[in-house]
Structures are given as structure tokens and as C-alpha cells.
A and B are shown apart, each in its own frame.
Chain A
Amino acid sequence: MNVMPRASQWKELIRADRVHGSLYSDPAIFEAELQNIWYRTWVYVGHESEVPNANDYVVKSIGPQSVIMTRDEQGRVNLLLNRCSHRGNQVCSYDRGNARSFTCPFHSWTFANDGRLVGYAFPDGYEGQDKSQLALGRVTRVESYRGFVFGSFAAEGPTLKEHLGGAAETIDRLVRTSPEGEVEITAGFLKHRVKANWKFILENECDGYHPAFVHSSIFGVADSAIGKLYGGASTALTRDYGGGHTEIDLRPEFRKRDAPMSWFGTTAERLPDYAARMNAAYGDKAAREIMIDGTPHVMIFPNLFIAEIQMFVIQPLAVDDSVQHVTALQFKSAPDLNRRLRQQTMGSVGPAGFLLADDSEMYERCHRGVLARNPEWIYLGRGEKRERTDEHGYKVGHVTDEIPSRGIWRHYRELMEAR
């Protein structure tokens, strides 16, 4: 039924300042994305701190597929597909745990936590069989960057470092906000489901045009300085790193404020332990700069969003069904900061969050909207005439400009045209 789109089709659907609505709603395009994006490029899977000890595991995903992230006895992180090599049963049915091996409940084949088949029930009948041919499927390549574990199903292609390109520096900026230079993912996830295409979420993460309107209900009643960052008078920037990675750079605003921890709506005085540890770790001058600049607001294509205090992982399940997994970032050796990070995250995101509930409403309404036939296009031209190149060669524009969306679609087209 579904005809795979032709290579030549993408340039008809994706233009510099607009994209065709069917890109969000056509099931055949969703299938093509699974092949060309989710099962080919680097996708964020989990964080090393989620499996701190030997034999720890946690069940994650790449698109609709269930992936078990394990730490084996050698301390190596593996990404195994949750699919028995016998008849396909899921070998792991718990979200997390500690296990040396996984025994399939169907016919009791047992796999080590590095994927090797170590035994089958009633081994007679398998004479001469080479067990190594019947291991659990693996995500072909696994690499991590500063604790963030990514997987790629492609045997060949850019390294993770090449894939991240300039956006790697945003992760550096994130981890240096920790006195020990490490982020930990230990607070558990909220899983928020929406009936919308995943790309509405992807684009929304670095859309600085909407907050003033979508989030006015909370900006109006909470005394929050976030609203102003996204106003017409803001000096904050949007940036396109290439590779589909995009950022809202709020540092110009925070530097104007010149107040440590203002990025988090607080002061260094209210977090004396954290400030002291930062000063000890980096020296007073550098610590002050880090505490002024704050953490990044960056969308690592296609699914890892770091939003200052939170991490979001986008999971597409079907063309119109997506989940955002969200958690508070935790910085190693910063308990006083971490508590606030959790409290603010719980308030703002997840199914009942002050912010995310309204974003989710927008994705869902957009999704229903693009099913209408006319106009067929989505217009993304805001700020096209005023975009410029920064000192590193990346395109930048005003915080409310649609540079991120245009960058995402440029990269998307390249991926989809590749055979």
C-alpha cells in the first residue's frame, strides 16, 4: 500500500522557507524516516549514570523499538535489541534492574548481558549449531559523549563526534555547570504522550517565537523572568549548527544581567554550597562566568533536547503518536541545586506541567490542522532576510526567528535523499 517516496520527491516537499504538510502526516514518509533517520543516524539512547554498576540495565528505545542498555561485567555499555533470536519474544519485561543475563520466558534461551547466547533449554536438537550466530541483535555502533550514550544502526558513517559537530560544545557547556563536570540522570522519567508527529516536537524545542503566547498563562501568574528572554526586545539568538542541531542561545541576555544563577531564576547566595564548590573547582573568575552563562538550550537532532534544567528524549511511535520522556538534570556533587532542579522540572514538564501541557496542546492541534488540504504548506520564513553568520560560521538570528526549523529541514532533506 505505502509507496516509498522517491529521492526526487524530497526537494518538491522541502523548500528553503516552507515544507509540505504531508511530511507530518503521511504514514509512508514516517516509514521512510525510520529507515533513513532513526535506523541510520546517531540517536540518543540513555545516560551512563543510569547503569552505574556492573550488570545494571535499563530499557530504552530507538523509535518504536525497545532497546536494553546494559553495563556488562567488563564495564562496557551495550545496546541490545529486546527481541529473542529464537522466535522473537521480548527477553526483558522490566524497566530496569541488575542482571547478568536475560532468560527468554518463551522457551528459556538465555543471553548474557552483552548479547551472547549462553544456553538453550533442551540442548539436544541443536547439535552442531553455532551459538554465536544466535546472539541478541545489537545496535551496530555505540558511542558516548560525556556520559550521553548514542547508538547508530549503520555500520559505516560519521563518528559520533563528527555527527555532533559544533553542537558538542553545548554538551561541554552543560557538564561544566557541575562542580565535577558530570551530569547524572537519576530522577526517573515522566513519559508524556501526544497524538502528534514527532517533528512538531522537534521544531518546537527551539522555537523561540511561541513562548510569549503559548505560555502566557503561566508567565502571567508566576513571577518568572523567562518570558522576557523570548520577547521582541530580547538579544537572545537562535543558531543552526548544521547536522540538524539547533540552539536558542540565551547567554546574551544572561550576560546583560551579569548575575550568577540568574539563568535559573535564583542567586549564588541562595545556593551557597553549590557556589562554593564551583569556585573551588574552577576558580572564582571562571566559576562566575559559568554561573552567569548557565546551561544550554539545545536540540541535538533527532531526539535529545537539553532545556537548561531538563532533558527531553523524543520517541516516535507512529506518524501521529509520540512520547516525550523528560527528567530533571542532576549535577554531580550539587545536592542543593539538584533539589531545586527536580522541583522546578516537576512543576513545568510532564503531563501536568505548567509549560509542557500547553506545548502538547499545540503539537496536537498542529497535527490535526495539517490534515486540512489547503494551504498545503507550512511557512517557515520568519527572519530569513536578517539571518547572519556568527564568528564560528553558524547561522544565527533573533530568538524569535525560524532559523532552527530551516536548519532541521535542510538536514532532514539530505538524510532522506540519501539512499
Chain B
Amino acid sequence: MLSRESDATLLNAVTAFIYREARFQDEHQYEAWEALWTDDGVYWVPANGVDIDPEKEMSIIYDNRSRIALRVRQLMTGKHHTQSPQSRLRRLVSNIELLDRQPGGDISVASNSMIFESSLRDDTVWAARNEYRLRHVDGELRMAYKKVVLVNNEKALFTLSFLI
């Protein structure tokens, strides 16, 4: 068990990590964002609820590490029309909490986010519950898993082509 103090230190490090991730996403720093992932990373945005089985049902995003790389490469071409021009984004991340320790030593973290997107179509507000598994790799935190549950994921959604 971690002491209260080291919990606080860990929470600080985790919070800094999540804020940095948010900035990379808002500012379309795709390569920097991709570098936050571990080699076995999984990026999951479920549809139709919180706990569908992504191995059986459709998800909005269900990327393994190589598909994360493909997503980034498509964005980097500059020819992904839905991101040309790029969405203007700002997100607020809050309610960051450390959850139970994972067996392999991964750190479980949850947060909420509210994202304002301004695109050619219109201005759109997105809200989500995020769950992470973070891991220390070479002294740095990395994402091994990120699940983004959009509050309205059961409804028809407008195009979501930025990094959420």
C-alpha cells in the first residue's frame, strides 16, 4: 500500500500527465500524443452505453496500438478533410481520481472532460467520463489504456474526428 503522501505525489504526477495529454489533443500535436502510448495501448470509445463488449459490438473507436498509429498517420496527411481545417478545441478535465491499483502495477485513473469543438459545421459540446490505465515506462508515465465514455453515446452523434 502507498502512504497518503505518496498517493498525493502520484496524483500530482497523474494530473500533470492528463493535462499534458489534453493540451496535445487540443493543439493537434499528434506525434507527441502518440508518444504517450505504451506499445500495447488500447484506445476505446464505446457506443450505446458504458459497458458493451467491444469484441462483440460496435464501438465508435476501438483501436489497438497499430490502429492508433494509423489514426495519427491519417491526421498527419493534412488531407483528412474532416480535419482540414482543423477543429478548434478546448477541453476542461476535472474530477481526477486514483482508483484501485491494478494487478500488473498499472495505475487506474478516472476523470471527466468537457470539450468545446468549433468546426466548419458548427460549435459542438462533448462530455465524457474517461478511464485510464497508466504505467511507468523508463521513469515516465504512459497510457496503456484509455476509455472515453461519451455521455450521449446512445444518440446519433455528429462526426468526431479529433482526438477525444
**A interface, CB within 8 angstroms of B:** 95, 186-195, 214, 216-218, 220-222, 323, 326-328, 339, 342-343, 345-347, 350-352, 354, 357-358, 360-362, 364-365
Contacts and interface: CB of A to CB of B under 8 A. Distances in A.
Contacts of B56: 186-187, 342
Contacts of A358: 80-82
A217 B81 contact: yes
Contacts of B82: 357-358, 360-361
Contacts of A362: 81
Contacts of A95: 48, 154
A193 B156 contact: yes
Contacts of B17: none
Contact of A194 (B70, B77, B120, B159): B159
Contact of A323 (B45, B73, B80, B156): B156
Interface stretch (B23-31, B33-41, B59-67, B132-140): B59-67
A190 B161 contact: no
B159 A361 contact: yes
A55 B73 CA distance: 47
B79 interface: yes
Contact of A360 (B48, B52, B67, B159): B159
Given A194-B159, A323-B156, A364-B121, A352 B60 contact: yes
B48 A188 contact: yes
A191 B121 contact: no
Interface residues of B, number: 36
Contacts of A217: 74, 77-81
Nearest to A324: B156
A220 B58 CA distance: 25
A187 B158 contact: no
Nearest to A218: B74
Contacts of A361: 81-82, 120, 159
B58 A342 contact: yes
30 contacts: A187-B57, A188-B52, A188-B58, A189-B58, A191-B156, A191-B157, A192-B159, A193-B157, A194-B158, A221-B73, A221-B74, A222-B74, A327-B58, A328-B58, A342-B57, A345-B58, A346-B62, A351-B158, A352-B60, A352-B161, A354-B71, A357-B80, A357-B82, A357-B159, A358-B82, A361-B81, A361-B82, A361-B120, A364-B120, A364-B121
A358 B79 CA distance: 10
Chain B at the A interface: SS class? loop
A351 B157 contact: yes
B122 interface: yes
B47 A190 contact: yes
Nearest to A356: B159
A357 B164 CA distance: 14
A345 B61 CA distance: 10
Contacts of A345: 58
B155 interface: yes
Contact of B157 (A192, A220, A339, A342): A192
A26 B52 CA distance: 40
Contact of B79 (A188, A192, A220, A343): A220
Nearest to A368: B120
A191 B70 CA distance: 23
A193 B79 CA distance: 22
A347 B68 CA distance: 10
A382 to B, nearest CB: 21
A96 B48 CA distance: 12
A226 to B, nearest CB: 14
A343 B61 CA distance: 10
A346 B59 contact: yes
Interface in B146-161: 154-161
